[in-house]
Each structure stands twice: as structure tokens, then as C-alpha cells.
Amino acid sequence: MQFLFLRALKPYVTLLFAGMLLFTTGCEDDDHDHDHDEDHTDADGFVLETEAGEVVYREFEGTQTGGVTLSVGETLELMVHFLDHEGNEIEHSEEEEGEEHEDGLEVSGNDASVAIVEVEGHEEEEDHDEEHHGSALHVIGVSAGSTSFTLQLMHDGHADYTSTNNVPVTVN
């Protein structure tokens, strides 16, 4: 009698294990089904640097130092360099430069009556010794005062990185 009961349960137990196996492997694949995961930037911060190489602002793991200061009518070009978990600049490989992605910087939250903050276009000038990879901002002083902005690194329609602090801008 006990043997008949176990025999009757066998198809249900088999179905249960097959369902668990399919569910487990199906969920596991959701985390790894993107071929472009290695293209995402895993940044823990960024620096804003002048063309002369002076770091005017640094944000790393939520801690910020510095700020952007300029005069009314002045335009400041700032290079954006993202930092890895050790605080080192994340380098872009040659392969990534030529690829077409919906990447780019986005800024938001600034008061345009004080300063205009805009992302530099992705065109690269051939006569530059430095490679900017489309990671530059123009800050234009409009009137005396202060404002701030949030910086995002976008990739295929979502943010790979969003600044944890607003970047302060002071116009004299």
C-alpha cells in the first residue's frame, strides 16, 4: 500500500523539481542576458578638470570637494573623468570609442539665470592632443549668484552613474 502511494506521488515530485529547475535557471539568466553589461561604467565618482589639468571639483563615494567658480560672461570648459572604486580614472578602450551607443552626459537642476551648464557635443576635434570621449561640460556665467547641477552618465536610456551631490557653481 505504501509502495502504491509513493508510486502515485512520483509524477508530482518530478513535475515539482522540473518547475524548480526551470524557474531557478530562468531567474539566473535575467541577470546575465545583456551582452552589453561589460559596456556599463561602474563609477564611484568623478572629477571636473579644466583644460590646464586643474581639478576644480571632485566627488568620490559621496564625498565632495571644490566647486565651479567663474565670472559673469566667462565660459569655462571642464573635462569630466569618472572614477573607479579605488578613486582612479576609468580609462576608455579604443574599441569603446568607435562604437555607437546612446551614451552621454546629462545635466539638470541648474538655474540658467545664474549659469548655463551644457554638455559639449560628441564631435572630437582631430587637432587635440587629449581625447575627451564626449565627456566635457561648458559652464557659462550669466549673472552673479550661485546655483548647482546634477550630473548623470547615460547609457542606452538609463543612468550608469548619477552624482550623489549637486555640483556647486558660483558666478562672480
Chain segment 109-167, per-residue pLDDT in tens: 999 999 999 998 655 444 444 444 458 999 999 999 999 999 999 888 888 899 999 99
Nearest of 149, 140, 138 to residue 111 by alpha carbon: 149
Beta bridge partners of 152: 106, 162
CA–CA separation, 26 and 132 (whole Å): 40
Whether residue 77 contacts residue 136, with contact meaning beta carbons closer than 8 Å, is answered with yes
The predicted pLDDT at position 88 comes to: 93
Nearest of 78, 19, 88, 10 to residue 50 by alpha carbon: 78
| For the chain, percent of residues with pLDDT exceeding 70 | 74
Nearest of 79, 64, 60, 95 to residue 128 by alpha carbon: 79
Residue with cell 565627456: 135
Confidence tier at 38 by pLDDT (50, 70, 90): low
